[in-house]
Amino acid sequence: MSAAPPPIAQSVIAFNDVSKFYGEVLGVNKINLTIPPGITSLVGPNGSGKTTLMNLMTGLLQPSRGTIEVCGMSTNDPETFFRAVGYCTQFDSYPKGFTGFEFVYSFLRLFGWDHAESEQRAWKAIERVNLVEAAKRKVAGYSKGMRQRIRLAQSISHDPRVLILDEPLNGLDPLVRAETIGLFREFASEGRHVLISSHVLHEVDIISDQVILMSNGYVVAEGQIKGVRDEIEEHPIQVLIRCNKPQMLASKIFESEHVVEAKVHVDGGGLLVKTRNAGEFYLMMNRIATMNGIEVETVAPVDDDVQSLYEYLIGGDEGGSK
Amino acid sequence: MAVYKRTYKGYEGALTPEWSRFLILPRYAWASLFKQRFLLILYVVCFFYPIGCAVFLYLNANLGALASLIPGSSTMKGLDVGGTFFNIFTATQGSLAFILTSFIGPGLISPDLANNALPLYFCRPFSRTEYVLGKLGVVAILLSSITWIPGLLLFLMQWSLADAKWFEQNSWLAWSIFLGNIIWILLISLLALAISAWVRWKVIAGSALLLIFFLGTGLSAAINAVLRTAKGEWIDIGANINRVWAELFRLKLGDGDMISVEEAWVSLFCTLALCLWLLWKKIRAYEVVR
């Protein structure tokens, strides 16, 4: 018989009206968030407050106002709190002169494990990031990707319940990147939290269960990507349709009051439709296609991804890494 | 939307005691320090004087046996071992401790700051206090091994060699040896750590430690000469520690102008407090950007 699920408060990361100021400089302001388990991506331009939010979550910063609870724990109980949180920083951060193994092992000792337990955990973590062969070499001699991986190893080595990763995919080659994403999924599949900040928006799209969009210290949007997209009413959802009679389809779809624009492709093999209600549009389009003998080859939303959310809600060129 | 099983279970096994975790930092630091041959030699040299003292105490206590070996030395009389002997011991080993600290101390915190390593320490169940204690331990434990520990061993040796009357008259020396050395160790260790936290270049940090002492002495002398006072000694750490040692080892000092022993204690405690404040300002997970 499986154990009863934990109460909601013990399974979410909750920000209650949290603000952080560095003197007079705003870090984040009035953040109210409830982050469920799974993979959550933090997206926003440089200086939007992503790293501040992560530092608050990891207890490295104390909020100027408000409270933060990570799975029912707070930084008032550091012995429990820090054991549950793993943090992979954005910058090269390791003590001078350490080998990869020493780096992971020595920080495990700070958790209070004995030599044998720490050694076993260190090797396990290093193995998970595929760095066993280089583990006895000095970190200073590692490539950027290897440093990224050893940092990841130290953040997962104590088997945390909440994994917070600042730009964890930077500098990784495609193969390692895929393996790392697999590792995140494995963590999330056990009901843990994986929080990632990333500039690579198409990867955010692929790996995230939910996103948090930030700008100028404020949370602009949060939730599942599709759900967030549906709520952006000033930008109708764009749907690409490839079919054999695009002109006919275009003439019929304006029966729906939600359709605001339809453009037939130059090649005459499809059209682009803008609608304020995608769900209703799909139903209507099916009906029209059936009644008029239109053969629909493809129907695909064009702008319900993170890149579009970023452009609509934040704007600018920061999200151009798609 | 992905559906996740909640199969995660945290570690529930045994842990080392919380209080002992700061000792992990010295363990790694020593391993790294003693890879440098120069420091290893310097550390070994620091034991020459205590060994010499031990030989002296032994010979001093066995002058009768020595006299029988040397013709015409039957009138040799042993020297008194007391406050003066242990004050000289403390001052000599204190100087060596200072030299050792000027090489070790500056490299303790600055590399962590330069390599952004502090967030790694503080996102674990490890506080800023434990971090400072750990770094302090690197120097303080090492310096203890060349100062008060051999000092107390010499005291015990003298106790075992001398008659019971000697212990009755000189038992207070044990406390003086311990306190006199501990205050000095704390002072130079915390100064070195504070400098290491604020000065990122190791060579400059090492020089700054020397400069604080020499500049303090020079400035103190200048203030005393210009203002015709003794209050300049407030900033002379060397003079203050000598004043405190003299008091602890019950030595008579000259009649010249000098600050009182209470003022010397206050001056030393102010220096310690300043070092702690400087460390507290700098040892943070993240630097505050203004």
Q: How many whole angstroms separate alpha carbon A23 and alpha carbon A26?
A: 8
Of A84, A154, A189, the CB nearest to B10: A84
B120 to A154: CB separation less than 8 angstroms, yes or no? yes
CB contact under 8 A, A159 and B11: yes
* Position A321 in a domain: no
Q: Which amino acid is at B153?
A: L
Residues of B in contact with A94 (CB under 8 A): 115, 117, 120
Average pLDDT, chain A: 84
Judge if A62 and A192 occupy the same domain.
Answer: yes
Model pLDDT for residues A259-271, shown as the tens digit of each residue: 888 888 888 888 8
Mean pLDDT highest for which of A28-42, A93-107, A190-204, B146-160?
Answer: B146-160
In a domain, A317, yes or no: no
Cβ atoms of B24 and A102 within 8 Å: the answer is no
Which helix (H) or strand (E) covers residue A212, if one does?
A: strand A210-215
Assess whether pLDDT exceeds 90 at residue B3. Answer: no
pLDDT tens track for B36-69 = 899 999 999 999 999 999 999 998 888 767 777 7
CA distances in angstroms from B106 to B196, B207, B268, listed in the order given: 4, 9, 21
Structural domain harbouring A217: 8-229
Mean pLDDT of B176-204: 92
Cross-chain residue pair B123–A61, CB shorter than 8 Å: no
B108 contacts on A by Cβ (under 8 Å):
none
Other beta carbons less than 10 A from residue A286's beta carbon: 12
Three-class SS state of A96: coil
pLDDT at A157: 93
Query: Which of 162-201 (A) contact B at CB < 8 A?
Result: 188-192
Residues A259 and A188 in one domain: no
CA separation (Å) from B159 to A67, A172, B60? 61, 67, 13
* DSSP codes, A62-80: --SEEEEEETTB-TTSHHH
Neighbouring C-beta atoms of residue A21, cutoff 10 Å:
15
The two three-digit tokens of residue A146, written as one number: 């290897």
Rounded distance between C-alpha atoms, residue B241 and residue B268, angstroms: 8
Q: Which of A195, A229, A263 is the last residue of a domain?
A: A229
Q: How confident is the model at residue A321 (pLDDT cuts 50, 70, 90)?
A: very low
Instruction: Please tell me whether residues A66 and A184 are part of one structural domain.
Output: yes
Q: Does A79 touch chain B (CB under 8 A)?
A: yes
Least confident of A3-17, A73-87, A108-122, B121-135: A3-17
Judgement on whether residues A115 and A30 belong to the same structural domain of the protein: yes
Q: Is residue A295 part of a domain?
A: yes
Residue A2 in domain: no
Q: Which two tokens stand for residue A141?
A: 């001699």
For chain A, what is the domain count?
2
Same domain, A186 and A265: no
CA distance B29 to B38: 16
- Clarify whether residues A72 and A159 are in a common domain: yes
Residue A318 pLDDT: 46
Distances (CA, A) of B231 to A267, B215, B219, B221, B261: 94, 16, 11, 10, 12
Which pLDDT band, with edges at 50, 70 and 90, does B35 fall under?
A: confident
**Per-residue model confidence as pLDDT tens digits over B258-278:** 788 899 999 999 999 999 999
What is the per-residue pLDDT for A249?
86
* Least confident piece of the model among A50-59, A79-88, B260-269, B281-290: B281-290
> Are A241 and A225 in the same domain?
no
Residue A199 has pLDDT above 90, yes or no: no
Same-domain pairing of A89 and A120: yes
Q: What mean pLDDT is predicted for residues B186-191?
A: 95
Q: Is A240 domain-assigned?
A: yes
User: CB B14 to CB A87 under 8 A?
Assistant: no
Alpha-carbon distance of A124 to A157, in angstroms, equals 7
Better pLDDT: A114 or A11: A114
pLDDT score recorded for residue B228: 78
Has residue A311 got a pLDDT over 60?
Answer: yes
Tell me if A1 is assigned to some domain: no
pLDDT band at B226 (very low <50, low <70, confident <90, very high): confident
Mean pLDDT, range B188-211, rounded to an integer:
88
Residue B254 scores a pLDDT above 80: no
CB contact under 8 A, A93 and B6: no
CATH number, domain at A278? 3.30.70.100
pLDDT above 90 for A240: no
> In the predicted model, what is the mean pLDDT of residues A84-91?
85
Cα–Cα distance for residue pair A191/A175, rounded to 1 Å: 25
Share of chain B above pLDDT 90, in %: 43
Instruction: For residues A283-288, give the mean pLDDT.
Output: 84
Closest C-alpha to B199, from B97, B114, B280: B114
How sure is the predictor about B7, in pLDDT bands with cuts at 50, 70 and 90? low
The answer to whether A16 and B280 are in contact (CB under 8 A) is: no
The pLDDT tens digits of the residues spanning A56-65 come to: 988 888 899 9
In which residue are the tokens 């602890």 written? B248
Query: Which element (helix H / strand E) includes B22?
Result: none
For residues A89 and A192, membership in a common domain is answered with yes
Cβ of residue B75 closer than 8 Å to a chain A Cβ: no
Restricting to A residues 219-278, those with a Cβ less than 8 Å away from any Cβ of B are: 224
Q: Cα–Cα distances in Å, from B47 out to A115, A140, B21, B88, B184?
A: 32, 35, 29, 15, 18
Residues A216 and A262 in one domain: no
Contact B125, A83 (CB under 8 A): yes
Half-sphere exposure of A126 (CA within 13 A, CB side): 22
Q: Find, among A224, A239, A247, the residue nearest to A282 by Cα.
A: A239
CATH of the domain at A119: 3.40.50.300
- Chain B residue closest to A57 (CA)? B123
Per cent of chain B over pLDDT 70 is 90
pLDDT at A135: 93
Per-residue pLDDT, averaged over B98-107, amounts to 90
The pLDDT value recorded for residue A319 is 43
Using CB atoms, pick whichever of A79, A89, A111 lies closest to residue B119.
Answer: A89
**Is A244 found in the same domain as A211?**
no
Predicted pLDDT at B290: 37
Per-residue pLDDT averaged across A218-237, rounded?
76
Task: Output the CA–CA distances (angstroms, integers) from residue B62 to A97, A153, A166, B162, in the order listed.
Answer: 51, 63, 70, 10
| Residue of A20, A96, A120, A206 best to disrupt the B interface, most CBs of B under 10 A | A96
Interface contacts A/B by beta carbons within 8 Å? 127
pLDDT at A167: 85
**pLDDT exceeds cutoff 60 at A317:** no
Residue A198 belongs to a domain: yes
Question: Highest mean pLDDT range out of A3-17, A49-63, B9-23?
Answer: A49-63
Predicted pLDDT of residue B75: 60
Whether B256 shows a pLDDT value over 90: the answer reads no
DSSP secondary structure letters along B62-131: THHHHHHHSTT-TT--PPP-SHHHHHHHHHHHHHHHHHHHHHHGGGTTHHHHHTT-HHHHHTSS--HHHH
Q: Is residue A147 part of a domain?
A: yes
Verify that A141 and A54 share a domain, yes or no: yes
In sequence order, the 6+-apart residues with CB closer than 8 A to the CB of B120 are A89, A93, A94, A95, A107, A154
| CB nearest to A191's CB, from B1, B7, B18 | B7
DSSP assignment string, A168-196: TTTT--HHHHHHHHHHHHHHHHTT-EEEE
